Amino acid sequence: MSDFHHLKHVKNQQTSKRTLWITLILTLFFTLVEIVGGIVSNSLALLSDSAHMISDVIALGLSMVAIYLASRPSNSRYTFGYLRFEIIASFLNGLALAVIAVGIFIEGIRRFITPETINFQLMLIISSIGLVVNIVLTLVLSRSMKEEKNLNVQSALWHFIGDLLSSIGVIVSALLIFATGWLFFDPLISMVIGGIIFTGGARIIRESYLILMEAVPDHFDLEEIRASIMEVEGVEDVHEMHLWAISTEHYSLLAHVFINNEVQPHCIILAINETLQHKYAIHHSSIQMENAKIHPHGAYGREFLRMKEEERLLEEGLQH
């Protein structure tokens, strides 16, 4: 019997898939236009923006692979399916952005020292087209995020917000060069764009790093969840508790609980799972029920038994 999971650990995100295909095609087309325009006009600001667009193409390609892999079911080797590839793709994407940003800074410093002539008219035309393209793509991705949450789509959205700002920066740079003749505006604007790219990359790296490190997702309070489980009838203690994300909106929780033997164990499990699902939208949980005398957990278990004994003696004293 090969199907041994009650949850399939898959994502079938048709909206995200369609959005990424549209975004990838438009981005690839404009990237080629921007690369040619940057080389012909000799504009570092335009080339730095095209470098960002290249990273977008790579990121979108990885995102497409991640979405297709996420739709594959889990098996005996990959028990969580292929959901984690979404996070790996995001991490690689953020890392690529950071490396590109460093390259832009280095070239910007070189051009500050040795200015180069620029065809500002071509630079202005291409950057204006880029502004329109980036506005369209930002709107498309924003609409997709309202329907389905996906870290790769979210990363792409931040990219194109950065691209939008970059296009505005290139246009401003071209106008300033035209008005003043000062060529240093080109490397200056390119380094500002590099800063935007690096900031976006660092944000994506942080988000994916936290998931890969199986940190508790930001919107969860572990102590609050522990307190909610403690409110379940029959639960006397919660420990060895872990909460992590396999991918966006796919959470898993593990906890050990000392229980009161006078309460039906299956009822305790059912109540805990219902609490986690309805209150926190955690649908994948593993709860291990324990008796403190049989599963003492070392000093922790001994301390728990000591406290329970003190409570018992106090209750007996009050009764007498």
Summarised one tens digit per residue, pLDDT across range 251-275 is 999 999 998 888 888 899 999 999 9
CA distance 117 to 273: 67
* CA 234 vs CA 61, 254, 274: distances in Å: 50, 18, 15
pLDDT for position 85? 82
CA distance 160 to 177: 25
Q: Is 145 exposed, middle or buried (0-12, 13-18, 19+ CB in 10 A)?
A: middle
Q: Is residue 121 part of a domain?
A: yes
Cα-Cα-Cα-Cα dihedral of 229, 234, 238, 242, to 10°? -50
pLDDT for position 119? 74
3-state secondary structure of 152: helix
Taking alpha carbons only, the member of 53, 48, 50, 56 closest to residue 104 is 48
Query: Which domain does 174 fall in, by range?
Result: 14-212
What are the DSSP calls for 80-119, one per residue? TTTTTHHHHHHHHHHHHHHHHHHHHHHHHHHHHHS-----
Q: Which of 191, 212, 233 is the last residue of a domain?
A: 212
* Shared-domain flag, residues 165 and 24: yes
DSSP H/E element including 254 = strand 250-259
Do the strands 284-290 and 235-247 form a parallel or antiparallel pair, or are they unpaired?
Answer: unpaired
Digit-by-digit pLDDT tens for the chain (320 residues) are: 444 444 555 555 566 677 778 888 888 888 888 788 878 877 776 777 677 677 778 777 877 787 777 777 777 788 777 878 878 888 887 888 788 788 888 878 887 888 777 777 777 787 788 788 878 877 877 776 666 566 666 667 766 776 777 778 778 877 888 888 888 887 888 788 788 778 878 888 998 899 899 899 988 999 999 999 999 999 999 998 999 998 777 899 999 999 888 888 889 999 999 999 999 999 889 999 888 777 767 777 778 888 887 877 777 766 65
* Shared-domain flag, residues 196 and 308: no
Do the strands 250-259 and 235-247 form a parallel or antiparallel pair, or are they unpaired?
Answer: antiparallel
Q: Is residue 245 part of a domain?
A: yes
Q: Is residue 313 part of a domain?
A: yes
Q: Which of 186, 212, 238 is the last residue of a domain?
A: 212
The CATH number of residue 205's host domain is 1.20.1510.10
* Shared-domain flag, residues 275 and 136: no
* Shared-domain flag, residues 35 and 131: yes
Contacts of 25 (CB under 8 A, 6+ apart): none
* CA 274 vs CA 8, 268, 277, 278: distances in Å: 19, 10, 5, 6
In contact, 151 and 90? CB cutoff 8 Å = yes
pLDDT for position 234? 92
Domain count, the chain: 2
The residue length of the chain stands at 320
The CATH number of residue 228's host domain is 3.30.70.1350
Q: Which long-range contacts (CB under 8 A, 24 or more apart) does 174-182 make?
A: 174/43, 174/120, 174/121, 174/123, 174/124, 174/127, 175/124, 177/118, 177/120, 178/120, 178/124
* Shared-domain flag, residues 23 and 41: yes
pLDDT for position 270? 93
Q: Which of 192, 212, 232 is the last residue of a domain?
A: 212
Strand order in the sheet with 284-290: 235-247, 250-259, 284-290
